[in-house]
Amino acid sequence: MSIATIKGFKDILPHETPIWQWIEKNARDIFRVFGFKEIRTPLLEWTELFTRGIGQETDIVSKEMYTLADSRGRNQTLRPEATASVVRAYIEHRLYLLNPVQKLFSIGPMFRHERPQKGRFRQFHQINAELFGDPGPRSDAELINMAMHIFYRVGLTDVTLNINSLGCTSCRSEFKNRLRGFLADRRDMLCGECQRRAELNPLRVFDCKIDSCRSAMTGAPVMLDHICDACKNHFEAVKRHLDDLGIKYVVNTLLVRGLDYYSRTTFEIQTDRLGAQSAVAGGGRYDGLISELDGPPHSGMGFAIGFERLVALLEEEARPLADNPDLFIIALGDEAFRKGFIWADTLRKEGISIEMEYEAKGLKAQMKRADKLNAKRVLIAGDDELAKGSVVLRNMETKAQEEISITDLIQNLVKNIK
RNA sequence: GUGGGUGUAGCUCAGCUGGUAGAGCACUGGGUUGUGGCCUCAGAUGCCGCGGGUUCGAGCCCCGUCACUCACCCCA
């Protein structure tokens, strides 16, 4: 084999695209009923958008971005996530002047230079939603609800919604200090990585799976117990609204999430069927992000669904999505072949899907092909029939055959098939 | 970046203690002259990941290398 795909990049093959289209159609349907409009942003952005938006210290920015220099040496980056780009567009085009509340969705590829493994690729796709301009807990609940709608719509019910609150910038920094104090006493119990985290971003220590770190964390202060009253009230209201909507959730105080911009509500939709990857979707509120990127002081909230992960979960359930031709035209003889080729074209213009051989073959071979392609009907046109001015239409399922005159063949077929 | 596993026909894999490659599925063509699925017969298909070494001889042993994959980290 000579040239193959780049590591972590995947072809989505013809037998896979139907489920991708099906998922996308369902997601669009949900977005429509929730009033979310599509936005499509470029795949390439100035690197600074992500370093400022996502945060210099995050894994994404510090080691996973595909960055290249333009001809003048300025850095541009293939987007590792969608939110920063959508926020940029909201600010750049002053969408908030039209209506401060903007509900946007976007579907497309993201790029992160990580080591690939099950459910994780260097180019992967996300279904993304952002809700700008509303700070209240009702929008949190609605956005989470909408994500769950998409899962339910495609038939996935064995996923778990985890929610947490990270507090606002002020109560979070207060909590971080408290946590640093706690960790300082146990420094020697922590792994090297966590010792570094303890200073830079102590919240991450909660994520560590190493036993010694976990036991070091027993008795650690819990974020939720230390957020300010405003944040606490907000979180309680979010939960209440979710309850009203009948959405089941687990409060997971360890749910931290790796992007710096989150504030207050964060959530993750998890599964245990994806190897080491537990998240199929994740998101949260990011009230400081828009102003951080030089926009108005509006709040925001968003989520991303991992397209490949969703596909993988649905494929385990073997969902057949047949895409079979309406009619297979079998031609026997030169004249019949010539006519059949023209009929095929005419019928396709009527929106009927037609399959036909490109080269003359025996009846049996063509029947086999028609069967293999799962054609619903077969039109048998031999020079014999043509001489009589008729052709045979066979229903492959019932095996019923009828003769049709070729004078009004097309209208007959259109009526018969549509 | 670090570890484990695997690389043989389009796919899933077998290949005994080294003797120059096999199965099932898929594919192509037959089994009545113009009727599919089942059955049956026949056929095509491989630089056995790549490079080097040991050997009379390597898919099998040794060294290296690459790729894929899973996991760590983190996330969708």
Region A203-230: mean pLDDT is: 78
Report, in ranges, which bases of strand B sit under 7 Å from a protein C-beta. Answer: 1-3, 27-31, 33-37, 67-76
CATH architecture of A17-168+227-315: 2-Layer Sandwich (3.30)
**Cβ(A88)–Cβ(A49) under 8 Å?**
yes
A362: the nucleotide nearest its CA (via C1') is B34
Using a pLDDT cut of 70, give the percent of chain A over it.
96
> Stated in angstroms, how far is A397 CA from B12 C1'?
31
Q: Is the pLDDT score of A209 beyond 70?
A: no
> Stated in angstroms, how far is A244 CA from B5 C1'?
48
pLDDT at residue A309, rounded to an integer: 94
pLDDT at residue A318, rounded to an integer: 58
A366: the nucleotide nearest its CA (via C1') is B36
Domain ranges of chain A: 17-168+227-315, 327-417
Report how far apart, in Å, the C-alpha atoms of A219 and of each of A179, A183, A245, A348, A416 are: 11, 11, 34, 70, 73
Region A178-185: mean pLDDT is: 82
> Stated in angstroms, how far is A365 CA from B29 C1'?
10
Q: Which two tokens stand for residue A394?
A: 């066979």
Region A189-216: mean pLDDT is: 72
Using a pLDDT cut of 90, give the percent of chain A over it.
61
Region A6-16: mean pLDDT is: 89
Q: What is the DSSP string of A163-194?
A: EEE---HHHHHHHHHHHHHHHHTTGGGS-HHH
| Per-residue model confidence as pLDDT tens digits over A253-281 | 888 777 778 889 999 999 988 888 889 99
Strand partners, A380: A330, A392
> Stated in angstroms, how far is A243 CA from B42 C1'?
68
> Stated in angstroms, how far is A249 CA from B55 C1'?
67
Dihedral of alpha carbons A93, A99, A102, A106, sign: negative
Helices (H), A115-251: 137-153, 169-184, 192-200, 211-217, 223-226, 229-244
> Stated in angstroms, how far is A197 CA from B38 C1'?
66
**Cβ(A140)–Cβ(A301) under 8 Å?**
yes
pLDDT at residue A57, rounded to an integer: 79
Residue matched to tokens 């976007």:
A106
How far apart, in whole angstroms, are the C-alpha atoms of residue A241 and residue A348?
51
How far apart, in whole angstroms, are the C-alpha atoms of residue A336 and residue A331?
5
Q: What CATH fold (topology level) applies to the domain A327-417?
A: Rossmann fold (3.40.50)
